[in-house]
Amino acid sequence: MVISFFMRYFAAIFRKIYYMKQLLSFLLTILCSVYCISVEAQSEKSDAKTPVEWNFDKYRFGGYGEILFQHMNYGANRYKDPSGAISDNRSYITIPRTIFALDYKFRDDIVLGTEIEFEYGGTGAAMELEYSEAGEYEMEIEKAGEVALEQFHLTKRFCDGFNIRVGHMIVPVGLTNAHHEPIFFFGTTRPEGEVALLPSTWHETGIAVLGYLSSFRYELMLVNGLDPNGFSTANWVGSGKQGIFEQVIATDPAVAGRVEYSGVKGLRIGVSGYYGNSAKNSTKPQNMTGLKGTVSILSSDAQYNAHHIIARANFIYGNLADSKAISDVNRRTFKKTGYPITEVAKNAMTYAVEAGYDIFSFWGLKEKLYPFVRYEYYNTAEKLEAGVKQQPRYKRDLKTAGINYHILPNLVVKADYSIRRIDAGNYNDEHTLGVGVAYTGWFIRK
């Protein structure tokens, strides 16, 4: 009888849960339908077009890539000599990244998005010599190149204004992560400040809601968090993206989001952010007991592209809680593991502006030639906790001038010359000449 009573009791509970689930599902469907009907009605009035990320019939295949030559007049190790990088002449030719993308519609409302990235020829293609960061002057040898699944996600479309996405996707924090294709920045390399502070390209696994509302695009996501064992002086939390081990730890998840406004012709303004604890994502979380390692990032950016002018600006500021305690744990625990073991700053910051003008417009040519200038400041050790040694060599500013020659809208030849100052000139300047070719586009679509 007792067993029979408990069976009836649990059966009743399960029935309640089932009916509640059905009710919630029904209410959610009604709310989404009402919302999407109202949004679609507004879209019809404004004659809005289908957003470009879903503007294909069945499938499309494409990608982007870069070929880069660089010549430097300074040595590779800026940390060994008291005056900074020593005078040297060295040149490199590389393929920084090649990306192939395939999007496929199972139905009009269910879309698969994929991207696979090959960096520097792919994993294990070469070996590189890497000098460690401040305080660790010995030379290390690492396997170069990488093959990474940059995106793999399914999107359930309700309407342009509301969609749900699940899988591995881009974290659109910062201008370069949100718009990382090489035709969307002037330099032969990605902006140094954003690459130094944040993972680039930043992609994580989780769930997101996104959509287009009038002149706005929004995206809000819940994803796995960062690994505090990867935080470092040189790259702040940029090296905290998980990937050293096969499994990704999501004990401490994070939220990220971005909103863009494009209501003025040629103008796009973006605001993005990230917030999440990291301590429990450590390889050995027991060593992080009592710590949160909260990462907070705020970013704003703008682009103007009209009247033959392209101008961009961006700003990022980040805060890391428990930075000194995390540094102490990493130094004590993770030697010879591949993790950096240098101190990590409490705050990091970068800002940049760039502008160019199409001089071919004077002659009415279809091709475009943009001479440009760019200024960038970044410091991965902007502010440190008390008791942590100051790291002035990570205060950098960069002046760049060059040209972008657009043979086609999605095919560009780039050349630039940059001067990097370390700690406002207290260390030797570093000069780099770069020449590159970059493309992006969809090759096949149906």
**Residue 332 pLDDT class (50, 70, 90 cuts):** confident
Query: What would the mean pLDDT of 257-286 be, rounded to a whole number?
Result: 96
Q: Mean pLDDT score of the chain, rounded to an integer?
A: 86
How far the first Cα of the chain sits from its last, in Å, is 65
Q: What is the identity of the amino acid at 229?
A: N
Please indicate, yes or no, whether residues 328 and 382 belong to a single structural domain of this protein: yes
Polymer length of the chain = 446
Token pair 């990937």: residue: 243
- The first and second tokens of residue 64, run together, are 């982007």
Please indicate, yes or no, whether residues 374 and 357 belong to a single structural domain of this protein: yes
Q: Number of folded domains in the chain?
A: 2
Q: Is 148 helix (H, G, I), strand (E, B) or coil?
A: strand
Judged on CB neighbours under 10 Å (0-12, 13-18, 19+), 79 is middle
- For 302: left if phi > 0, alpha if psi spans -120 to 50, otherwise beta; the answer is beta
Please indicate, yes or no, whether residues 228 and 343 belong to a single structural domain of this protein: yes
Q: Which one, of 234, 147, 227, 222, lies nearest residue 196 by Cα?
A: 234
Please indicate, yes or no, whether residues 14 and 104 belong to a single structural domain of this protein: no
- The first and second tokens of residue 286, run together, are 């027991």
Whether the CB-CB separation of 332 and 343 falls below 8 Å is answered with no
The span from the CA of 120 to the CA of 117, in Å, is: 10
Strand partners, 275: 255, 296
Residue 131: its pLDDT value, please? 54
Query: What would the mean pLDDT of 135-162 be, rounded to a whole number?
Result: 76
Residue 36's alpha-carbon distances to 39, 46, 225, in angstroms, are 5, 15, 31
Please indicate, yes or no, whether residues 1 and 96 belong to a single structural domain of this protein: no
Whole-structure pTM value: 0.86
Token pair 């330099």: residue: 187
Query: What would the mean pLDDT of 397-415 be, rounded to a whole number?
Result: 97
Query: What would the mean pLDDT of 163-171 be, rounded to a whole number?
Result: 97
Q: Which one, of 188, 180, 97, 92, lies nearest residue 404 by Cα?
A: 188
Across 33-42, 312-321, 344-353, 393-402, least confident range: 33-42
Q: Is 160 helix (H, G, I), strand (E, B) or coil?
A: coil
pLDDT 10s digits, 10-42 = 445 445 444 444 544 444 444 454 445 444 444
Q: Which of 27, 48, 69 is the last residue of a domain?
A: 48
- The first and second tokens of residue 117, run together, are 């990235």
- E-strand spans in 262-308? 267-276, 295-306
Whether the CB-CB separation of 418 and 73 falls below 8 Å is answered with no
Q: How many C-beta neighbours within 10 Å does residue 10 have? A: 10
**Which residues contact residue 254 at a Cβ distance below 8 angstroms, ignoring those fewer than 6 apart?**
204, 222, 223, 224, 225, 226, 274, 275, 276, 277, 295
Please indicate, yes or no, whether residues 149 and 173 belong to a single structural domain of this protein: yes
Query: What would the mean pLDDT of 220-227 be, rounded to a whole number?
Result: 96
Please indicate, yes or no, whether residues 74 and 106 belong to a single structural domain of this protein: yes
pLDDT 10s digits, 77-90 = 888 888 999 999 99
Please indicate, yes or no, whether residues 121 and 227 belong to a single structural domain of this protein: yes
pLDDT 10s digits, 190-223 = 999 999 999 989 999 999 999 999 999 999 999 9
Residue 38: its pLDDT value, please? 45
Residue 379: its pLDDT value, please? 97
User: Is a pLDDT exceeding 80 seen at residue 422?
Assistant: yes
CATH code at position 366: 2.40.160.10
Residue 31: its pLDDT value, please? 47
Please indicate, yes or no, whether residues 398 and 306 belong to a single structural domain of this protein: yes
Judged on CB neighbours under 10 Å (0-12, 13-18, 19+), 4 is exposed
Residue 335: its pLDDT value, please? 62
Please indicate, yes or no, whether residues 90 and 29 belong to a single structural domain of this protein: no
Judged on CB neighbours under 10 Å (0-12, 13-18, 19+), 45 is exposed
Strand partners, 428: none
Containing domain of residue 8, as a range?
1-48
Please indicate, yes or no, whether residues 30 and 165 belong to a single structural domain of this protein: no
Please indicate, yes or no, whether residues 40 and 181 belong to a single structural domain of this protein: no
Residue 338: its pLDDT value, please? 62
